[in-house]
């Protein structure tokens, strides 16, 4: 599906085709489709060999690469072609306020979740009564 949408976008929107192929930046953008192909091959390869975590991680990478391709295609416009990222963003003071809040709260959340996993590690085992 990602390949069909990507081809349709390049064929249907000349600005996107120019962004990818006409601006001389293809060398910088080429790793995205190459890594997409590597991820797709890796997903099919690891699913056949019954790996558990690898297909999930490769799918996450594939989603990230899809968004990266989208950003490359429409940059710097958020709502193509009328609104740039700088027009859509909040003021620097608001961004600083959010950054300070994130820097304070995120470590607290991560430490709390880590402690939860540590406290409850090994408490329930498969086959115990009440575990299904």
Of 26 and 37, the structure prediction assigns the larger pLDDT to: 37
**pLDDT at residue 132 tops 70:** no
Cα separation, 8 vs 38, whole angstroms:
21
End-to-end CA separation in angstroms for the chain: 36
**pLDDT at residue 120 tops 90:** no
Cα separation, 106 vs 2, whole angstroms:
33
Q: Please report the pLDDT score of residue 109 as a whole number.
A: 98
The answer to whether the CB of 8 falls within 8 A of the CB of 16 is no
What does pTM read for this prediction? 0.59
Of 61 and 88, the structure prediction assigns the larger pLDDT to: 61
**pLDDT at residue 127 tops 80:** no
Q: Please report the pLDDT score of residue 84 as a whole number.
A: 83
Cα separation, 76 vs 72, whole angstroms:
8
**pLDDT at residue 23 tops 80:** no
**pLDDT at residue 41 tops 90:** yes
Closest C-alpha to 16, from 81, 88, 82:
81
């Amino acid at each position: 599906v990602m390949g069909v949408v990507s081809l349709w976008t390049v064929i249907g929107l000349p600005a996107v085709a120019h962004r990818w192929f006409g601006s001389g930046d293809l060398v910088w953008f080429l790793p995205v489709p190459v890594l997409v192909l590597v991820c797709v091959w890796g997903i099919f390869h690891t699913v056949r060999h019954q790996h558990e975590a690898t297909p999930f991680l490769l799918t996450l990478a594939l989603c990230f690469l899809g968004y990266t391709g989208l950003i490359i295609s429409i940059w710097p416009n958020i709502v193509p072609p009328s609104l740039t990222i700088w027009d859509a963003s909040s003021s620097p003071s608001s961004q600083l306020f959010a950054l300070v809040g994130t820097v304070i709260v995120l470590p607290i959340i991560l430490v709390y979740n880590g402690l939860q996993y540590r406290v409850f590690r090994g408490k329930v085992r498969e086959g115990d009564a009440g575990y299904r």
